Copies of this chain bind each other. A is one copy, B any other.
Amino acid sequence: MRYSKLFGKTKKEAPKDEVSTNAKFLMRGGFIDKLMSGSFTLLPLGYRVKEKIEQIVREEINKTDASELLMPLLHPKTIWNETGRWDKAKEVMYQFKKGDKEYALSFTHEEIVLDLARKYVSSYKDLPIKVYHFSTKFRDEPRAKSGILRGREFIMKDLYSLHETSSDLDKYYFEVAEAYKKVFKRMNLDVKITEAPGGVFTDNVTHEFQVICETGEDTVYYCDRCEFSQNKEITKLKEEDRCPNCEQGRIKIGRSIEVGNIFRFGTSYSEKMGVCYIGKNGQKQYVHFGSYGIGITRLIGAVVELFNDKKGIIWPKEIAPYKVHLIGLNKKADEAYQKLLDQEIEVLYDDRDVSAGEKFADADLIGIPVRLVISEKTNGKIEYKERAKEVTELLDLEEVVKRV
């Protein structure tokens, strides 16, 4: 992609009302634009990052034998009334009337997926069901001031599963937890699987995937030795307590960002909505139900909060919008650009007629993992530099291709 043709160029300043690091760098870098408080357009660069994150999630979730579909965003009141959440979640949901009908916007999809599933489930042979989608969620957040971390409109991957028994649900629940670990690892995120309260979703304990980050909104109490972690909202521990799990480590307190969560509802929803199946024993039983979320657009924000320096973003390799950022300071760059494209390498090529200094500053702000420079000084070779390192090297094109 020629940077001269890209929509969404870098800006010197971010809007004054955006205080978070993610909003500042993502807006200045041309990844997102703010339509209104808590609502952002994903510009072409940001859209590419979103697509890459989704593809990682898709690959790992597909391995659990789940199928991708797409459920609607506009929901009838009648279905939300079946579980009582039309009233229970009134503050966070966008609800309205048009003509003589009442609607809500998708703040989540449990009721909708169960309404769907009950049309297809009659026997144990129809179970398990594992379906997911990437879709828009709407939540009227009172505190929408953390950039893309907490939007009124955002993109989630939500997966739902229906099973015969509680132990089938448990088994899949932990399979999804493992899939999530792989997802976050591929994005260079070190997550703590944290016991947490269920909010308007469930009274049961749930698990959140929390990334330690000093600018996070959550607080977790975690062990410095083992994987134990609890959300502040349910813990009874204090800092430096002995870990109740491994009995060796000490409890530390950290600010964190929730990037995923998983819920076991048991039969609570299926009882309210009458989602039954005839079991092997010939008896009618309620399905066991779970749901599993990953905040896709929130992940973009979390990664930026974690991986940045004074100059800008430092994208992890797997989700960077392009693999290399080519800076052309003489006409030979055009040729190298074409050669990189021929090798099917994703290149952002700064072909603008602006100063070298401006191009370097923009490359640091945008944060693509590898920067290549071609100028009179590079003398037929290419200057190679990783965004996270200071050292530069002069390489042949072949060597560059090999490394990328």
Contacts and interface: CB of A to CB of B under 8 A. Distances in A.
A136 interface: yes
B94 A69 contact: no
A35 B75 contact: yes
A14 interface: no
A69 B35 contact: no
A110 interface: no
B72 A40 contact: yes
A72 B112 contact: no
A348 interface: no
A71 interface: yes
Nearest to A71: B41
A149 B22 CA distance: 41
Given A73-B73, A99-B140, 12 more contacts: A7-B69, A7-B131, A8-B69, A36-B76, A42-B69, A44-B131, A47-B69, A72-B153, A73-B138, A74-B152, A96-B97, A136-B136
Given A74-B138, A74-B152, A120-B8, A68 B47 contact: yes
Contact of A73 (B43, B65, B115, B153): B153
A129 B6 CA distance: 9
A35 B68 contact: no
B96 A96 contact: yes
21 contacts: A7-B130, A33-B119, A35-B112, A35-B116, A41-B70, A41-B112, A42-B70, A43-B69, A44-B67, A46-B69, A47-B68, A72-B153, A73-B73, A74-B105, A74-B138, A94-B96, A94-B103, A96-B97, A96-B98, A99-B140, A136-B136
